[in-house]
Amino acid sequence: MLDSKRAVANALKLGLMVPSFNIPYLPMMEPVVRAVVDTDSFAFAAVARLEWTKFESKGLGPVIEEFRKWERPGYVRLHLDHVPVIDEDQLAVDYEGILREAGTLGYHSLMVDGSRLTLEDNIAATRKAVAIAHEAGIPCEAELGAVLGHEAGPRPPYEEIFRSGKGFTDVEEARRFLHETGCDWLSVAIGNIHGAVSGALKDQKKVAARLNIEHLRKLRDATGIPLVLHGGSGIQRTYVLEAIKNGIAKVNVGTEIRQAYEVALRETGSVAAAQEATYKRTGELIRDEFELTGTRRQVTE
């Protein structure tokens, strides 16, 4: 079986990356897998906890059942994205229980999100998550810094976030975090933001975010592990490609394909039409935005 950790490590070494496509609606799984196969690339299908609490992915079990219907192991692996210790509504989550269940069910990688905690508490929670993942024989992703967007209510203007560096991952904290947790991949904040998931905001077009590449290089040099870019939808293409050259080895995409699915379903009332819209947009991202067509063998061998 293809090792997810090795694939992401290969991407880092080759100056490529692995896209991770979030599945908030179960019918999106098939077109995402189909688009990855048809572009001869490698990617993750992913589900975050909020996608079964705020959308319709239904939970860990239904997602992996749907994945197994369409599974193509040489092309797509299943990732458990964002399991928060404290969620976007400021509620405590049984993150250890969720991570253990995912490992038992057969997910291929896990992510714990302690970014709403103090540094010390984030380190402690991540250390527990790493132990759970490694016991299951799979890699663990963590987050340090604040990738904003999932919280309810208005967020600061984007230019204010970028100019001030509010929530950016601190370089020395990243060095310590890696040393004390042993996480395999690290999600960093360098100007990227999540798409909103609450109320009418979830339908709005995302801000065309920028990335602080100089800050990214410092994080790369301080950690030496694959770094992850969350909130990949809407980031200006030149910044994403430059980030891939400077330590980003996994890019999460949710809003772009979710909105393609939702708009088509709303306009046509047809799940099949919504699936085709998802397929088209996923393929466009792989081919035109990320330039990953035909890279599967490089990443997986």
Mean pLDDT for the stretch of residues 133-143: 98
The yes-or-no verdict on residue 65 having pLDDT over 90 is: yes
Rounding to the nearest 10 degrees, give the CA dihedral for residues 193, 199, 203, 206: -20
The yes-or-no verdict on residue 296 having pLDDT over 90 is: yes
Residues 252, 81 contacting (CB under 8 angstroms):
yes
pLDDT value of position 192:
83
Mean pLDDT for the stretch of residues 41-46: 98
The yes-or-no verdict on residue 163 having pLDDT over 90 is: no
pLDDT value of position 152:
54
Model-level pTM? 0.91
Mean pLDDT for the stretch of residues 61-86: 97
Contacts 24+ apart (CB under 8 A), 170-177: 170/144, 170/145, 171/215, 171/218, 171/219, 171/222, 172/222, 173/119, 173/144, 174/144, 174/219, 174/222, 174/223, 175/222, 175/223, 176/119, 176/123, 177/119, 177/122, 177/123, 177/126, 177/142, 177/144
Phi, psi dihedral angles at 92 (to 5 degrees): -70, 145
Q: 112: pLDDT confidence band, cut at 50, 70 and 90?
A: very high
The yes-or-no verdict on residue 197 having pLDDT over 90 is: no
Within the chain, strands assigned E span 18-22, 43-48, 76-84, 109-113, 140-144, 185-188, 227-229, 248-253
Residue with token string 């939808």 = 233
Mean pLDDT for the stretch of residues 272-289: 97
CA 167/CA 94 separation, integer angstroms: 25
Q: 88: pLDDT confidence band, cut at 50, 70 and 90?
A: confident
pLDDT value of position 232:
76
Complete DSSP assignment for 93-136? --HHHHHHHHHHHT-SEEEEE-TTS-HHHHHHHHHHHHHHHHHT
pLDDT value of position 6:
96
Catalytic residue check, 40: no
CA 216/CA 239 separation, integer angstroms: 11
Q: 146: pLDDT confidence band, cut at 50, 70 and 90?
A: confident
Half-sphere exposure for 44 (CA within 13 Å, toward CB): 29
Q: In CATH, which superfamily holds the domain spanning 4-300?
A: Aldolase class I (3.20.20.70)
Nearest to 248 by CA among 212, 282, 301, 283: 212
Mean pLDDT for the stretch of residues 56-84: 97
CA 196/CA 204 separation, integer angstroms: 8
Task: Give residues with Cβ within 8 angstroms of 2, minimum separation 6.
Answer: 73, 74, 77, 300
DSSP 203: G
Task: Give me the percent of the chain exceeding a pLDDT of 70.
Answer: 89
Give the model confidence (pLDDT) of 216-227 as tens digits.
Answer: 999 999 999 999
Of residues 208 and 61, which shows the higher confidence score? 61
pLDDT value of position 28:
98
Residue with token string 């001869």 = 40
- Catalytic position from the list 3, 40, 81, 288: 81
Q: Tell me the pLDDT of the chain averaged across its residues.
A: 91
